[in-house]
Amino acid sequence: MSEHSRRAQKKALTRAHVRETAQRLFAERGFDTVTIADVAAAADVAVQTVFNHFATKEELYWSERTPWVSGPENAVRERPAGVPALRALRGYLVFAIGDHVEGLATAEGRRLVTVLGSSPGLQAAERELVHESESRLRAALLEAWTGPGAESPRPVRPAVTAGLVAATWLATTRMLVTEPRDPLPAPEDVPTLAAAARELAAQLLTRFESDVTEQLVAGEDAVQPEALRAS
């Protein structure tokens, strides 16, 4: 192993150790009561070492816990050839919603929700991450409809449609994954809740996809009011 590889490995191990230590402390004491100095002491590193890896305490909490931020975007960008963007997005979100709710039966999932629910600062950070996910999805959809190899037919107003889809589909997703958190269900009840969330997600997003396809992608005539068509 080269010296560069050894340094990279040591850096990765230190980062993982700091992250795991911090998340353990957050679960034991609550996010708001734990300081960066507490994390550094428990991990046996300098405070600056923590900041070398994580810019904020919120980043420490969310590290390795936010695949859902880039997931919708990646579902669109990495979809197989010939698969429409909305179909790929729907498939990803239905799976992700069920997977997230199923996580409420695990110790890690329950810790995450409990710590999050006790910290207004973390909840604000979560909203920022949701906004980031929405922005990234909007950009991916717009590229799918206007970029190289764009889908055909495409929305009459692709930028507006991309924004509407990103906002409404992710708002629906967020409601379906956060509603089962409060109150936190008993682990044995989680499979039933996850199945119900997945089924409702499939119904809603299939309807959304159909509406967008029929009303916005079919052509300009499809979105004009009847009075304008007759004029």
pLDDT of residue 231: 34
Dihedral (C-alpha) 87, 216, 160, 73: value to the nearest 10 degrees?
10
> In whole angstroms, what is the distance from residue 63 CA to residue 17 CA?
12
CATH 1.10.357 in the chain, residue ranges? 67-226
CATH code of the region 3-62: 1.10.10.60
- Report pLDDT for 227: 42
Q: Give the pLDDT of residue 219.
A: 53
Count Cβ atoms within 10 A of the Cβ of residue 27 and give its class: 0-12 exposed, 13-18 middle, 19 or more buried.
Answer: middle
> What beta strand segments (E) does the chain contain?
none
156, exposed or middle or buried, with CB in 10 Å at 0-12, 13-18, 19+? middle
What local confidence, expressed as pLDDT, does residue 156 receive? 82
| Averaged pLDDT, groups of 10, the chain, 231 residues long | 82 96 96 97 97 96 95 97 95 97 95 94 94 98 94 87 96 96 94 97 96 67 44 34
CA distances from 111 to 28, 141, 183 (A): 9, 34, 14
CATH of domain 67-226: 1.10.357
Rounded to two decimals, the pTM is 0.87
Please tell me the predicted confidence (pLDDT) of residue 224: 47
CA-to-CA distance for 81 and 78, rounded, in angstroms? 9
Cβ-based neighbour number of residue 204 at 10 Å: 19
Where does the chain hold its CATH 1.10.10.60 domain(s)? 3-62
Contacts of 79 (CB under 8 A, 6+ apart): 85, 87, 88
Helix, strand, coil distribution of the chain in percent, nearest 5: 80, 0, 20
